Structure 1
């Protein structure tokens, strides 16, 4: 692969480089992390920002909007996503990114990546390069794509093809039964898909392969990424093929790729100072995740001074019972904080926890929609965390669980986040911006279920990852 000629490369344009929408809250924070810690200040809004709120972050290089599309049906997307995409188009960034989960959490009936692409392309792709790059892989978070198939490292430390991954193949909402990204997303859209494969990415043939896929009529073109070299090449293809404005699909691998290319080409310098937050005396945490990674983190926290407190999520099938359960758990969390411990309220310890089956049975026996109950659980955990933080005076917290984070963060009155310190790839510590004085300046981490080392909660407390 030939090195770029620096003399021929124009500098990065002034102003915004990127606008993006994240289909869940934790994934949205991951994009902000990649850009911010590369020296490109980024703000993440939790809803479409007003002009006044947007003006507060003048000079920032990327603007994001966090959403909950991953847990929504196509009908919801049709009603709610076009106004968001029009707002993204209005900011005028040369790149617009629909951020998806790095493990492709989606299906035709829920969180449809294909439906989102169909809605976004006419709005965000006009004037672009005539293609939609797709980068799902991100080696920094142990996601790899080879010959169109996505692989991820599991809690056992082994790389698994996604349809054989011990947790993703058993995902409670969108179980993965197909690792080929073209086939998986192809079930969700009429847009034709193509691939620039690993051989082309590694041998300098990527431009020709991309041109051939576009000539065959591919609208969405997946890019294989397995290492630093292919990551840089993906970033080059996207940046050089952006036209006036390009719409892209992918995980934070899009931003990792762009940053890798920009740094290799000398367009930005690597940061010289590490990002770090001071340690906190105590923190408060809530978790609605049933991922095995989070289960291990809860167990580690319990062995290292935290106070794990179980909440019975099955009670959420009855609103009155759920409010009583939230009150009980909040009282227990405040008591733990009063004793100098770090409360960690959780609903399950991994996918095999009997609580997971118990919740499923309670939903079925009451004839309720699982989405409605899950939304109620997430919102309830957010109200619980808000009460604990307000009452105890604590100023740092964690929300674990991709879907949980979105609904919980809404209850804190947060309208924007900026990145403070890296804790784990995809799950940074952030500063909250709120019109509510009690939560303005709150330090908060939103963690997806599969993200982070075993000591994640302790790392948030001390303000830095383990090295």
Structure 2
């Protein structure tokens, strides 16, 4: 390998990795995103930061740990000095929890006695106060995340949630300490380590809080959190004279070809975006899982429909539905089976469309994005212009030449599916 990176990040899903890669690129670091555990001899070129996108959020904890450690080993071999374990700004996790086990495994691997945990992302309405996570003005437990089909979040107290997943003692860095500045934060971490704490939830309600936290973590070997916590990290390297300022492009040249929207997310935000596209007259096909099982909806049928309805405006294929309908499907098919059914169908559909001249994809939902990108054979992504906070256009730089907008279900304004295309040039 010829590269020597500064920051190595491991994300537990694809859209979260893209969100983080955008955050780092927007703050001046040359950043590439890698899909899946990178090869041991991977060459990252002149990248200053590498973000590894795993599909480990809802798998078994042992498997999530193994994938994360394998990624960390490659990143360390590539020269990474600082590591970031990235998870969702709504702290998505299964009941047994992958956040705690992966964080502790990375702490052991990197010989780190204490690390912070901060999923706050104020620009997307995620803030932490007194250890409680808010989505907008509502507690996480009162937000639509309480009915998430894969990771229902019904406790807003992150100290309590993380403690249930961890063997390490979990504590809190309250907002008054964050507001007091980097030295106060460092002093609390030293005292917490001496008191036997291993993981510390950090309050943050403004971008300024995250930048102060980032400055306090200069030289920290491991950080865990959402993409927001990364906004202050590049400045640490810049103050050391080790990076410059690499602007994110305002527009992106996309490969020639047709466009399509694939939506597998059932989040409130995505359902609103689906409805806005339908209201605007975009052609839309709704996937009904029961019909897929019965054989009355096949991937070939859906692909033919898209080919017939693709024109100047991209067609929309969606499985998004309200929580009661999703729960009914899960009861009938099983929670994991229902999710996998839609993911696999979307993945197979994307391959057929790619082979029929489609090169521009908007994909909604972390699990759906992971399945689609894996099926398309995309391995490395270049970060392009920002469509919405946390969501850029990307272009593949290994594998087939495609433009991809990979959107977390919770992100984006109602007109996201309508406006995303405005940032692409032929």
Q: Give the TM-score normalised by structure 1.
A: 0.83
The corresponding residue for 2:84 is 97
Instruction: Tell me, yes or no, if structure 1 residue 461 matches structure 2 residue 411.
Output: no
Superposed CA deviations along residues 171-192 of structure 1, whole A, max 9, x for unmatched, are 2222222212111111111111
Superposed displacement of residue 90, structure 1 = 2.2
Q: What stretches of structure 1 of length at least 5 have no aligned partner? A: 1-13, 154-158, 365-369
Q: Please say if residues 276 and 414 of structure 2, whose CA atoms lie closer than 8 Å, have aligned partners that are also in contact.
A: yes
Superposed CA deviations along residues 175-228 of structure 1, whole A, max 9, x for unmatched, are 222212111111111111122110111124323322222221111122211113
Query: 214, 224, 239: which one pairs with 2:203?
Result: 224
Pairing 1:251-270 to 2, within 5 Å after superposition: 251-259=226-234
CA gap of 1:452–1:409, structure 2 versus 1, over 3 A, is same
Instruction: Tell me, yes or no, if structure 1 residue 397 matches structure 2 residue 361.
Output: yes
Superposed CA deviations along residues 100-122 of structure 1, whole A, max 9, x for unmatched, are 1110011343x521111222222
Superposed displacement of residue 444, structure 1 = 0.3
Pairing 1:328-367 to 2, within 5 Å after superposition: 328-337=301-310, 339-352=311-324, 354=325, 356-364=326-334
Q: Please say if residues 430 and 445 of structure 1, whose CA atoms lie closer than 8 Å, have aligned partners that are also in contact.
A: yes
Superposed displacement of residue 29, structure 1 = 0.8
The corresponding residue for 1:207 is 186
SS of the residue corresponding to residue 50 of structure 1 reads: coil
CA gap of 1:293–1:327, structure 2 versus 1, over 3 A, is same
Superposed displacement of residue 401, structure 1 = 0.8
SS of the residue corresponding to residue 451 of structure 1 reads: coil
C-alpha distance in structure 1 between counterparts of 2:337 and 2:67, whole Å: 17
C-alpha distance in structure 2 between counterparts of 1:150 and 1:264, whole Å: 31
Instruction: Tell me, yes or no, if structure 1 residue 196 matches structure 2 residue 166.
Output: no
CA gap of 1:430–1:408, structure 2 versus 1, over 3 A, is same
SS of the residue corresponding to residue 302 of structure 2 reads: helix
Superposed CA deviations along residues 143-172 of structure 1, whole A, max 9, x for unmatched, are 11112111112xxxxx2111121x112222
Q: Please say if residues 233 and 261 of structure 1, whose CA atoms lie closer than 8 Å, have aligned partners that are also in contact.
A: no
The corresponding residue for 1:444 is 404
Q: Please say if residues 57 and 92 of structure 2, whose CA atoms lie closer than 8 Å, have aligned partners that are also in contact.
A: yes
Aligned residue-pair number: 419
SS of the residue corresponding to residue 377 of structure 1 reads: helix
Instruction: Tell me, yes or no, if structure 1 residue 181 matches structure 2 residue 181.
Output: no
C-alpha distance in structure 2 between counterparts of 1:213 and 1:284, whole Å: 50
C-alpha distance in structure 2 between counterparts of 1:34 and 1:203, whole Å: 25
The corresponding residue for 2:131 is 148
C-alpha distance in structure 2 between counterparts of 1:261 and 1:224, whole Å: 20
Instruction: Tell me, yes or no, if structure 1 residue 308 matches structure 2 residue 280.
Output: no
C-alpha distance in structure 2 between counterparts of 1:444 and 1:253, whole Å: 22
Superposed CA deviations along residues 276-326 of structure 1, whole A, max 9, x for unmatched, are 2258885201111111100111111223342111111234557xx38x522
Q: Please say if residues 163 and 176 of structure 1, whose CA atoms lie closer than 8 Å, have aligned partners that are also in contact.
A: yes
CA gap of 1:424–1:273, structure 2 versus 1, over 3 A, is closer
Q: Please say if residues 123 and 207 of structure 2, whose CA atoms lie closer than 8 Å, have aligned partners that are also in contact.
A: no
Larger displacement relative to structure 2 (181-190 or 77-86): 77-86
Q: Please say if residues 387 and 393 of structure 2, whose CA atoms lie closer than 8 Å, have aligned partners that are also in contact.
A: yes
